[in-house]
Structure 1
């Protein structure tokens, strides 16, 4: 009887494992060589008042294997545009839409663009009733951090996956 239970447990475990592999499940690992070889060293250049984005980018890029610093052979990740927007919709309930648009590109040390500018957008919304509870500031502050975190993750994933289109030079543009 003991042998039958052990055999059934093994068969069940193997069956579940096979079904996970069959559906395409795989564990997401943090490979230190996940970033493309050319973007292994980056210097971040961000506009003023973007401290939270800077912190999040440092965290996610370092986790994907990018060395951040002022090295002579480092490329520059420049944020060209950082535009937070807050839209208020009034009705029976008040709805607030928070949207952040960030445009960035990678440049060499001399400021020449390597990749074409890429624009990313993240948004969140929430509703509240002014007559009952006023948690507007706390909720908005929390969701702003979530939106910034989302943008930082998108930037680091695109750099790690090398999904940024390169700038066409005069030599490659000619037929």
Structure 2
């Protein structure tokens, strides 16, 4: 009888452990996706007409623990290139392909590169029949916001995961 109680206790313990792991429970510790300490303070330097990207980056970077600051000890997240493209494919249906390409790097306050430039791209497409639809602009505006949001999330993940290649000396 004593052996049966031990086996039952082991089975119960293993069952509860598997249940906790299955529901996503984990012990609190250092988050491997936390922003590296060197990038905890950033200044955003953006090209003209990129307000929406700057707003989205501010939200996502702040959510990962980055402090946006203009202080002298802050690194600079510089967007080197911001290229939105719209490609129109005509046929029986009209298809619109929206693509945004953003190149960025992290620099110190003196303008020295800390990371190599990284280029990220996001795209979305949609179709409509010109004869029946007149909401092309609404859908395009919405998808442009989605594309910008996607690029902002990609930039944030790259910084938070510290996946940016260091600059060559």
TM-score scaled by structure 1? 0.81
Distance 1:164 1:26, change over 3 A: farther
How many residue pairs were aligned? 153
Once the two structures are superposed, residues 59-93 of structure 1 have per-residue CA deviations (whole angstroms, 9 ceiling, x without a partner) of: 00000000001011000000000000000000000
Once the two structures are superposed, residues 78-113 of structure 1 have per-residue CA deviations (whole angstroms, 9 ceiling, x without a partner) of: 000000000000000000000000000000000111
Q: Which residue of 2 aligns with 1:92?
A: 92
> CA separation in 2, counterparts of 1:68 and 1:107?
14
Secondary structure of the corresponding residue to residue 133 of structure 1: coil
Q: Which residue of 1 aligns with 2:125?
A: 125
* Moved beyond 4 Å, runs of 4+: 13-16
CA deviation after TM superposition for structure 1 residue 26, in Å: 6.8
Which runs of 5 or more residues in structure 1 are unaligned? 1-9, 170-175
Distance 1:16 1:97, change over 3 A: farther
TM-score scaled by structure 2? 0.83
CA deviation after TM superposition for structure 1 residue 17, in Å: 2.8
Q: Which residue of 1 aligns with 2:101?
A: 101
> CA separation in 1, counterparts of 2:153 and 2:22?
26
> CA separation in 2, counterparts of 1:114 and 1:90?
44
Q: Which residue of 2 aligns with 1:20?
A: 22
Secondary structure of the corresponding residue to residue 98 of structure 1: strand
Which runs of 5 or more residues in structure 2 are unaligned? 1-11
CA deviation after TM superposition for structure 1 residue 134, in Å: 1.3
Measured on the aligned residues, the alpha-carbon RMSD in Å equals 2.4
Q: Which residue of 2 aligns with 1:111?
A: 111
